[in-house]
Structure 1
Amino acid sequence: MAIAKQVSSNLEWRINVPDGTSERLVPESGAVLKLWWRLKGLLEGMILKIYKFLYKAWKLAVAEPKKVIHGIKVGLAMSLVSLFYYMRPLYEGVGGNAMWAIMTVVVVFESTIGATFCKCINRAIGTTLAGSLGVGVHWIASHSSKDMEPIIIGASVFVLVSAATFSRFMPAIKSRFDYGVLIFILTFSLISVSGYRVDKLFEMAHQRVSTIAIGTSLCIIVSMVVCPIWAGGELHQLICLNLEKLACSLDECVAEFFKDNKTSSAADIEEDRRKKMLGYKCVLNTKATEESMARFARWEPAHGRFNFRHPWKQYVKIGASMRNCGYCIETLSGCVNSKIQAPIHLKSHLKRICLRLSTTSSNVLKELTSTMKTMKKSSKIELLVGEMSFAVEELRNAMKSIPNHLIITTQSSSEAHHGEANTEPITKITAPSPFMEIIPLATMVSMLIENAARIEGIVKAVDELAAMAKFKPVIDKKPNHTHTHTHSTKIHTSDNQDHDQTMKTPPKV
């Protein structure tokens, strides 16, 4: 063992250089050098992580500029409300409670005007009500005996806070006033408890209510003046976009199912088609967003094409109908990705009819998208729904002939014998198609029929919205055929006159 160590210590590494000689490789050593390489690797890793973070932030800002606008608006509101600290007259006017205005801006400011309105109104109502009750309880306790004062204040805090906390479990309160109840509990507890040791309680409550009013007013003004983002408009655009995605996803799923395996396209085209086919997933994942936007949109004033009493709840119903349709398309997508595929002769038998049904169904969805975007009643929707129903009946009739296609029959003539003119055909019957191979095609057909029925539910929901929101009907500009008819009559009359004159004129020899 000692001899092996001695031999290894005598070994050395050399490299050949261009001049024909060799140089000895000396291993780098030293604790300082190792520490330097570790610090260098650590710094490079940190710089790389910062670069990746900034790159992701840049991509997010480019993809969704509204989030950048929201950040700028919050910064502007904070800068304005900070003036109450920087300017002496404003600071003395609010009695040193300017921090409440800053806290209000931080807590209340949201990305949409509806959400900001909701929180501002909840905070104002909760603060005002809690301040009034706190001052009232303090007045009652101060006019009682010294021993009863803490008991009255403690009992009032226990009763009101318990009742307010219980009310947060009620659906009607939780959906619209949950934040207000939370602010009520916080403000009432602060005023009641601190009022026991503070002499000028009314002045303190007045200053806090004033600073909160200043903060909420600044939030509302900045959110409505600087690049306003309306929750109602966002909800309307989301519903329109989801309708388009459903139509594209339905077309792509059916086309992909009946696509010939021999056909191929470019990779970018295939990627685009796959994204369109999976568009139904966006519809299935927007339930919470639609409900929150509809809830916030009810707090917004009239703006653009939307009145104050616009039926925002109906948008939630339309979204639910679209998700029912999306579940059918999800099943269609499963049939496309299934490892078990139907026989080619069965696919070719139903291909034209299934594509026709998917086309008519997507046309109905696209027309509903146009109706939602323009907010005008469509004059073609009944015709398109009728074409979709006719395609459904046609597909059902085609399904009745499926048993005849489960067994493939082929005929072949026997070879002609010497001196025989007639031959008898020989019929070869192959084995019937396995049952498992028919399941994907049967699922595809049944889901197409069910999807058509659910699309009619979307049509009904959009019609209800059009009636409640008073969509304007589309005026069809029919061409004026009177002048054309008169002109053609005149031409026809002149032609007859010319013809009669020609008949009366004798031919020249």
Structure 2
Amino acid sequence: MRSSSMVFPNEEGGEGAAPKTLGNYLSTVVAFLRRVNGEHDLRRVVHGIKVGIALVLASIVAFITPKYKIFETDAVWAVMTVVVMFEFYAGATLSKGLNRAAGTLSGGMLGCMSAVLAKLIDSKVGQDIGVGTAVFIFGATATYVRSIPCIKRKYDYGGMIFILSFSLVAVSGAQFESSKDILKTATERLGTVMIGFAATIFTSLFIFPIWAGDELHVSIASKFEHLACSMEGLLDTYFDAVADKESKGDGSCKSCRPVLNSKAKDESLANFAKWEPWHRRFGLFYPWDKYLKVGELLRELAATIVSLDVCVQSSRQPAGDLRQSIKEPCELVASSLARTLRELGESLMNMRRCQSDALVLQKLRSSWLVLRLYMSPTKLENACKSGEDLAISTFVFLLTEMLEKLERLANEVEELGELAKFKINDM
């Protein structure tokens, strides 16, 4: 029997020799997603698939409820829980899940208690007033507690769910005739919420989990290389042998600007990472706050590099021949800065402590002394014309600031290695 296959035109409009397979189509789809979504497209696709799986697992409850009479109330609360809980990072999902579980449980119990106690009042008006008073007191108190900074940073979502659960259970419970109905309805709703919670946590943590801790670690470690490249590019631009005032910044510090704007993302990732369980390289009570301290020092260093870039592009910079007079010590310092940044970044990325830390700091201090020597009035007077000494002094001063900041950064990385128990290199 003769088999038939589809023939696809090639790039020139003719017929291709081989048909496209399923793998070709998948490659095309992945390439399209990469163009549309950027470098994290595959993780986004995985995240979407995981949400779909969790929704199916939660929906099973709604499908089997009418047949087996598991819950008399609407089981759609399980699906709603998945929708509002599932986040991109496993730590974020776990944070929202535990907050939601605590808020639902505590709010539901207090709501039931308020509704049951209100039933002890003989008049209907008195019952409504009692429930309304309870809703006011607990709602106002919980809202105030949510505004406390330490609570808002980690437990704001739980506070919101507490207010919602308490109000819904208390108000709806007041409409039932007996306390038994109130407890039964609250228990069933809590059960459906817990099913959605379980489906979400299982899918997020056990099916290709995306860890916030891993991303924070890689993000902080990669910033060292970005700053090193920016530093080298700036020095090449500054000492480029071109005509007077023609050397302009070529955007070599572009990689510094994402570092400057990374504070909010780093804090968010660190907060999510604190909720994550033990996984691979990162255990419980890992020093994520130390990562934030390292990130803060990296942003300070990036700000100094941006200031150095502004100095390089200034029209008040001296002529090229005068810049050459300080080229040797400045290139020595820049080389030391870039090499130290790369060593620190590699040690952090590989989670290993360098035994040459003392030697690195000694080289940094030696470079600092060399620059201090060139910043002396005698050297500047011999090297510069009138009005040009200030421009060169500013440039050299910023380099010395970078040396001091890098020394502090090296100490912080060393402390992080001690707290996180990084392995020591055998080299």
TM-score (norm 2): 0.86
Match of 2:362 in 1: 386
Contact 2:115/2:171 (<8 A) preserved: no
- The structure 2 residue matched to 1:404, chosen from 382, 385, 388, is 382
| Structure 2: distance between partners of 1:253 and 1:381 | 26
| Partner AA of 1:281 in structure 2 | R
Q: Deviations over 1:15-41 (max 9, x none)?
A: xxxxxxxxxxxxxxxxxxxxxxxxxxx
Tell me if 1:118 matches 2:95: yes
Long gaps (5+) in structure 2: 1-29, 244-248
Q: 1:456 deviation in Å?
A: 1.1
Match of 1:340 in 2: 316
**How many corresponding residue pairs?**
386
Q: Deviations over 1:278-311 (max 9, x none)?
A: 1111110100001011111111111111111101
Tell me if 1:166 matches 2:117: no
Tell me if 1:229 matches 2:178: no
Mark the CA change 1:111 to 1:138 in structure 2 (over 3 Å): closer, same or farther.
same
| Structure 2: distance between partners of 1:470 and 1:360 | 27
Tell me if 1:475 matches 2:426: yes
Q: 1:175 deviation in Å?
A: 0.7
| Structure 1: distance between partners of 2:223 and 2:68 | 50
State how 1:436-447 maps to structure 2 within 5 Å.
437-447=388-398
Deviates more, 1:122-131 or 1:90-99: 90-99
| Structure 1: distance between partners of 2:135 and 2:76 | 25
Q: Deviations over 1:458-492 (max 9, x none)?
A: 1121112112111222223xxxxxxxxxxxxxxxx
| Structure 1: distance between partners of 2:287 and 2:96 | 21
| Partner AA of 1:81 in structure 2 | A
Match of 1:252 in 2: 233
Q: How large is the Cα RMSD of the aligned pairs?
A: 2.0
Contact 1:258/1:351 (<8 A) preserved: yes
Contact 1:364/1:381 (<8 A) preserved: no
- The structure 2 residue matched to 1:193, chosen from 158, 168, 171, is 171
| Structure 2: distance between partners of 1:463 and 1:63 | 31
Q: 1:344 deviation in Å?
A: 2.3
Tell me if 1:322 matches 2:298: yes
Match of 1:464 in 2: 415
| Structure 2: distance between partners of 1:66 and 1:468 | 31
Match of 2:264 in 1: 288
SS at 1:208 equivalent: helix
Contact 2:253/2:306 (<8 A) preserved: no
Q: Deviations over 1:33-83 (max 9, x none)?
A: xxxxxxxxxxxxxxxxxxxxx998651435212222212211221122222
Match of 1:209 in 2: 190
| Structure 1: distance between partners of 2:398 and 2:175 | 71
Q: Deviations over 1:187-246 (max 9, x none)?
A: 111111111112411111111111111111111111112211111111001101111111
Q: 1:375 deviation in Å?
A: 1.2
| Structure 2: distance between partners of 1:123 and 1:257 | 56
Tell me if 1:144 matches 2:125: no
Contact 2:381/2:389 (<8 A) preserved: no
| Structure 2: distance between partners of 1:55 and 1:112 | 24
Contact 1:91/1:98 (<8 A) preserved: no
Match of 2:403 in 1: 452
Deviates more, 1:305-314 or 1:373-382: 373-382
| Partner AA of 1:451 in structure 2 | M
Question: Larger relative CO (CA 8 A, sep 6+): 1 or 2?
Answer: 2
TM-score (norm 1): 0.73
Identity %: 34
